[in-house]
Structure 1
Amino acid sequence: MWREKPGTWLLNSGLGTTRYTGDLSELGNISHLQVGVAFNLAATYRVSQQLSYRAEAQFYYIYADQKYTRNYYNNLSFRSLNPDVWAGVQVDFWPINDPYRATIPYAIAGVGMTYMRPKAVYLGQSYGLSVLQTEGVKYSQLTGIIRYGFGVPLLANERFRFNLEGTYTHVLSDYLDDVSSVYPDRSGMQPLAAALSDRRAELGTTLNQPGEQRGNTGKNDGYFVVSGRLIFVIITPGQRSYRRQIGR
C-alpha cells in the first residue's frame, strides 16, 4: 500500500553509532568498543522496482586509545570529527511491488570522499596531528572512500519510513588515525611533534627506536556506522495515483 512508484524522490536523515577500525583498534575487544556517533542526510531517487540512486552527506565522530588494547605500552590515541560524502546505488532484494513480502531488505554500495581531521589531547590541549607529521610523512587529509552495507525497513506509512541500516566505509588511506608505518627519527622534529609521535614518555618507559613498528601498512583504515533512518516520501500526483492502483 505504501510502496513508492519508480520516479519517486525520498529525503532521509540518519542518527547512529560509529566504530573505527584501524591501527589503534583491536578486533574482538568488546569490553572497550569505543563507539562514536554519526549524523547524515541523504536523497534517494527510485529508478525501478528494485533499483534506486542515492547521494549522502555525513558527519561522523570516531576515536580510539591504545591503553585499552594489547599495545597499551605505546600509549597512542586519536579522535576525529570528519565529514564525508558519497553517491551510489540502493538495490532491493526483491521487487518492491512483490505482493507477498511486507518487508524487503536492501543493499547499498557507492564511492565518495572524506576529509580526515585526526587530533590528540596532550597536556590538556587538543592538537591536529596531520600538520605535525608524526611519522615524518606528509599525507593528504582528503581521500576517497568505498561504502557498502545493508538496510531493513521497519515501519512505513504514506509519508514516512523508518529503516535500520548498517554500513562499512573503507577509507583509501591508512592515516585516518594518523598512524600507519614506523616510528621516525625524532631528532629533527619540533618538540610537540616528537612528543605526539611517541607517547611512551608519558608512561615513564623507554621510547621506541626509529624504524620500529608504529602501525600496520598492510591494511587501510575504516569505520562502521549503524543508524536508524527517518525517510520522508515526496508525494506527487503520480505517486498518489500509483498508491490507489496498488491498493485496489
Structure 2
Amino acid sequence: MKITLFCLLIIINSSNLLGQYSEVGILMGATNYLGDLVPSKEYFLGTNFGMGATYQYNFTDRVAIRGNLIWGQIKGSDQNSNYDSGRRQRNLNFHSQILEFSALAQVNILPFHPKRNFKPITPYGFVGIAVFHFNPFTTYKGKQVYLQPLGTEGQGMDGYSAKYSLVEISIPAGIGIKFCVSKRFNLSFEFGLRKTFTDYLDDVSGDYVPLNELRTGNGDMAANLSNRTYDKDGNQIEQAGNPRGHVGKDWYSFMGFSLTYSLHKYIYFEKKKKRRRGTKPKKKGNGRWM
C-alpha cells in the first residue's frame, strides 16, 4: 500500500515537470443495450444515437481524470429476434432515454501532450463510476406508456418487491485511441461498456404474475403490458409462474467520437528568467506548452 501511494505521488508530482492542462469538448456516437430483450448475439439491433459533453484534466502526459455528461437512447424488442421463437411469442419491447454523469480515470499507453515532442497519437484505457437515470416505456394502442409506475411484475403489491429505482449506479470501463489534430484540438474514438446493478433497464427480470392477481393489485394496464402473449384469437395466454426474464444485470454502452479543445497556455520560462534578472526577454522560441 505504501509503495502504491509513493508511486502515485511521483506520478502526480511529475506533472510539475511535464505540465498540467485541461480539455473541454463534445461527444457523439451510438448507445446500445444488453439484456433480456437484446442478447449479445443481437447487440447491434439495439443501436441508437448518443451525445454529450466532456471535461478532462491531465495531470501528466499519461494520467488524466475526466467527467462526462452523456445522453442517449436504448431499446429492445422480442420481434427482432431471429434465433428464438419463444422470445417472439413473449412479444415484449421497450425504449428508454439514458442520462449519465460519470467520473473516469484515464491512462494513456504512450506519452501524449499537444505540441510536445511526444507521440501525436496514443491508445488509452479508462475506468470509473457513473450515476444514470432511465425510464423504460413501450407503445400500447398507439400511445407511449411508462412501465415502472405500473409494476408489471407485481412491484408494490403485498408479497412482492418495491418498485425499482429509476436512478442507478454503473461502472464504465473501456478503451480508445486519441489523436492530436492541432495545437488546440484533439480527436478521440472510444468504446465503453457500463456494468449496471439493475435488471430493469428493460422492465423485464423475474416471473409472470397471475393475470387476475396483477389486475386486482396494479390494474388492467399492468396486466396487459406484463403479459403480451396471445393465442390465435387474440386472447392473453396465462403464464403465471413462468420466467418472464432471466437472472443477470443489464448492461449498456457508448461508442463514438469526441472532439476536445485544449486549454493549455504557452509559458515562456526563459522570459520569466530574463525578467527576474532585469534583462529584456526574447519574443519566442524558448517556451513550452502547458
Which is richer in strand? 1
2:46 counterpart residue number? 34
Structure 2 residue corresponding to 1:164, chosen from 185, 189, 195 = 189
CA distance in 1, matches of 2:211, 2:268: 64
Kept after mapping to 1: 8 A contact 2:231/2:237: no
Which region of structure 1 is more displaced relative to structure 2, 183-192 or 51-60? Answer: 183-192
Which region of structure 1 is more displaced relative to structure 2, 151-160 or 114-123? Answer: 151-160
Structure 1 residue corresponding to 2:67, chosen from 26, 49, 55 = 55
Q: Over aligned residues, Cα RMSD in angstroms?
A: 2.4
Structure 2 residue corresponding to 1:192, chosen from 211, 217, 221 = 221
- Runs of 4+ more than 6 Å apart: none
Which is richer in helix? 2
Superposition pairs of residues 171-186 of structure 1, within 5 angstroms: 171-186=196-211
TM-score with structure 1 setting the length? 0.88
2:132 counterpart residue number? 114
Structure 2 residue corresponding to 1:129, chosen from 144, 147, 154 = 147
Q: Which amino acid aligns with 1:193?
A: A
Which region of structure 1 is more displaced relative to structure 2, 94-103 or 123-132? Answer: 94-103
Distance 1:17 1:129, change over 3 A: same
The Cα offsets for residues 15-51 of structure 1, whole Å up to 9 and x where unpaired, read as 1012210011132237x62311111111000012211
Is residue 88 of structure 1 aligned with residue 104 of structure 2?
A: yes
Kept after mapping to 2: 8 A contact 1:104/1:153: yes
Name the % identity. Answer: 25
The Cα offsets for residues 96-138 of structure 1, whole Å up to 9 and x where unpaired, read as 2695744211111110111121000000000111101111121
Which region of structure 1 is more displaced relative to structure 2, 40-49 or 97-106? Answer: 97-106
Q: CA deviation at 1:244?
A: 6.3
TM-score with structure 2 setting the length? 0.76
Mark the structure with the bigger radius of gyration: 2
Q: CA deviation at 1:201?
A: 3.1
1:105 counterpart residue number? 123
Q: Which amino acid aligns with 1:94?
A: L
* SS of 2:89 mapped into structure 1: helix
CA distance in 1, matches of 2:42, 2:226: 25
